[in-house]
Chains A and B, each alone.
Chain A
């Protein structure tokens, strides 16, 4: 199988490899992170794995993420090859912009509402990662599937779930997309092909693989040629050390399933840094081990993500199989709203805010002017105001809703002592029957 760290020209545009196998640097690097992490020994056992460059430091401190910062600088500063630059139309550009603004504004509103006591529990915000969601999901069509983790609000929004439904779900109201039964970490939408929303990392990847399997089954067994749905599974760097990730890479490659595995590598799994948890932090390299192309892309640049997405989705639709895409991205807030918000690389990545980057691009290339972009922001603000008002005004789920969706077929509650199915008793579904 071709090794794909420098993707073949026929599949993907040239994307610079993140780390060069520079064996002249010292093989052992000791990094110290001042505030809470012990010194870290980072070794480069073989060629091809990343080697930090000593001279590229952030500010005065040697940061264990000098490595990552190095990588990102390599990717960010590489002069864009003018001939191969993605050209987008004005319409496409505005769609991307609006989607990212929606994602960012929605998450900011969530934070506000959370601290005002309108939503509870674990709420994980997507600020900073919008380019990945927008870049991929805006290339999908109706009938395609998206599967996410607990950081799923923006995936649902990008896929088309109305902001009202998502906000309402977060408020725990009966009008929420899951009737208030799922919450922040369990966003599902049958209408828009959102397969969840999973609290445990890794458990969504097999579900996405199953949706891709169904697509293949429909084509080959049910002989329905009109179907070419693809699945996109989003998950983080922490998940890439989990068994389900590897098991699904294997199965997807084995059966050439139409799935794209998108890694949102934001370097942190709550408080565990990716480099401390992973023997080889290059996640994209793990694809070729299973015969899947592995691509690394700058996840803070929506145009680059989109370029890769278009290619990967086309590949899957053609029946050529899965792709593993590692998006280097970052979250601007803490792991969840209940966690501290003090990550070290924030300043560095804030300078690469994807929304500002796209705005700059649109203005520079005369695809839009300031007023148009402002009006988009205004429109989104109105959408969110409406969403919050709708959620506030919506009713809470009544007691009678408690047992309604436990079983698709409520005969599953069994036969009661009187010989009737329990679900035939109206007080049972009202939750007032003795169980």
Chain B
């Protein structure tokens, strides 16, 4: 079965993407990427540019092309690029595209955050939007997360559809009062009178030696808040689709982005599409083991998969997308087929998304399991600055390969 894949680089963005496709063997490419180098980049050529779920809503159904070899080669991409419709862009551009389309579609949609306006956004997600839509629709706020998030709540209650950008997910800890008490609760405590259609988004996760406070994995902090939905994007395709879906949703949605994925490149459709907020994405069908993952770890899993496929394993890879609530249908169908589960996440071990997912799987699919659910999470440490220690904090592809070997024998 084809390995649907995308072209991306994990560069810091400052030096631009670099291709290593001249490294012919997967082993070389894997070895190169395993180094924690700020300019490291892995290029996996687009097979079909679509990592759509088998159960994707009609608007996103596309024919998936079977690729016989695990690693696609450059020439194939060139021909695909020439014949395929759509346009190539980076993940942050996809987010911007989704945002811009929604702002054009509905004049009540507005953005608030630090440096989103004149500066164009710290990660350029809102670049050019202030010039186009004006300073009030793309509002540069003072550094007061708790208050401007509360302001977004008040504006949402009275009719607007604000998007709050946290410059880094970690900064949203300062807004936790408003996110938990107001975003999550006010629809309920008002007896359903007020809706809070806010989107709270920002980059999180471990980057390249950004230090502990800028490298937080906070998905678990928000997952228990009742009334919130939480999704994590991992490719340009789902980034744009989820951004649009989150803006259109009447619920408050937290859109988790990853600081290292902004420069991922993919070809996405020209026509309009919206992803489903509650549905997981089947990245690669398989029959030996179910690997559940999200955000950056999806790409580590894909890397590990290349090695695994060469060794004869057939993993089914699911990007869970919806961190709250879990798509138990896609996950369940997979477990019923493979009977073994490995969760690979960047969240911390204690009380993380993986812990929650394990419990959910046990509750619902216990009878289908042939082995205990394995979970690879990041370490329960504040992310160290030193490169070697930082690398050891998150799950790396060799660990995933080892875990599968352990699980499958």
Contact = CB atoms under 8 A, between A and B. Distances in A.
A196 interface: yes
Contacts of B324: 414
Nearest to B328: A417
Contact of B325 (A200, A206, A414): A414
B190 A178 contact: yes
Contact of B251 (A199, A216, A408, A419): A408
Interface residues of B, number: 60
A331 interface: no
30 contacts: A147-B154, A178-B193, A181-B189, A182-B191, A188-B186, A189-B193, A195-B194, A196-B189, A196-B190, A206-B150, A206-B153, A206-B178, A207-B182, A209-B147, A209-B150, A210-B152, A210-B155, A211-B155, A213-B154, A213-B160, A214-B159, A405-B190, A406-B187, A407-B187, A407-B250, A408-B187, A408-B251, A412-B249, A412-B325, A415-B330
Given A178-B190, A414-B326, A415-B327, A209 B154 contact: yes
Ranked 3 nearest A-B pairs via Cβ: A210-B154, A206-B150, A414-B325
B338 interface: no
Interface in B228-262: 229, 249-251
Interface in B6-64: none
Given A207-B157, A417-B364, A248 B147 contact: yes
Interface of A: 145, 147, 176-183, 186, 188-190, 195-200, 203, 205-218, 220-222, 243-244, 247-248, 250-251, 254, 404-409, 411-419, 421-422
Contacts of A415: 278-279, 325, 327-330
Contacts of B330: 415
B332 interface: yes
B328 A414 contact: yes
Residue of B159, B192, B250 with highest tally of chain A CB at under 10 A: B192
Contact of A210 (B158, B329, B364): B158
A173 to B, nearest CB: 11
Given A145-B158, A207-B182, A404-B192, 15 more contacts: A190-B193, A195-B154, A206-B149, A206-B178, A209-B151, A211-B154, A212-B154, A213-B151, A244-B146, A250-B142, A406-B226, A412-B277, A412-B278, A412-B325, A414-B322
A422 B181 CA distance: 25
B254 to A, nearest CB: 12
B195 interface: yes
A385 B10 CA distance: 70
Contacts of B144: 243, 247, 250-251
Contacts, number: 192
Interface in B133-170: 134, 136-137, 141-142, 144, 146-160
A419 B329 contact: yes
Contacts of B328: 414-417
A34 B250 CA distance: 55
B336 to A, nearest CB: 10
Interface string B189-230: 111111111000000000000000000000000000011010
B313 interface: no
Contact of A190 (B107, B148, B194, B229): B194
B155 A217 contact: yes
A54 to B, nearest CB: 41
B319 to A, nearest CB: 15
Contacts of B385: none
Contacts of B134: 221
Contacts of A183: 189
Nearest to B228: A412
